[in-house]
Amino acid sequence: MKSIVYGGLDGIITTFAVVSGAAGGGFGIDVILVLGFANMFADALSMGMGDALSTKAANAAALKERDRELWELENYPE
């Protein structure tokens, strides 16, 4: 849920910045729409990949820590 909220806020802000900059630059409506949709697509793709990679890394770290703890229990029982 946190990723959806942060990604949505980031997407809204950056898309607004791109669209308002293009509109202020005097581009046509078709160019503004293309820039807005392209920005939303690229932003969604980068946010999704970043979240997937960070989740994968966090899971790998947790599994590695679990394996270390199991090794310690086997080799140094208390």
CA distances from 43 to 9, 34, 39 (A): 11, 14, 6
* Residue 74 in this model has a pLDDT that exceeds 90: yes
Q: Which two tokens stand for residue 58?
A: 């966090």
What does the pLDDT read at residue 77? 83
CB contact at 8 A, 57 and 13: no
What does the pLDDT read at residue 64? 98
pLDDT in tens, 10-61: 788 889 999 999 999 999 999 999 999 999 999 888 888 888 899 999 999 9
Which has more confidence, 30 or 3?
Answer: 30
What does the pLDDT read at residue 1? 75
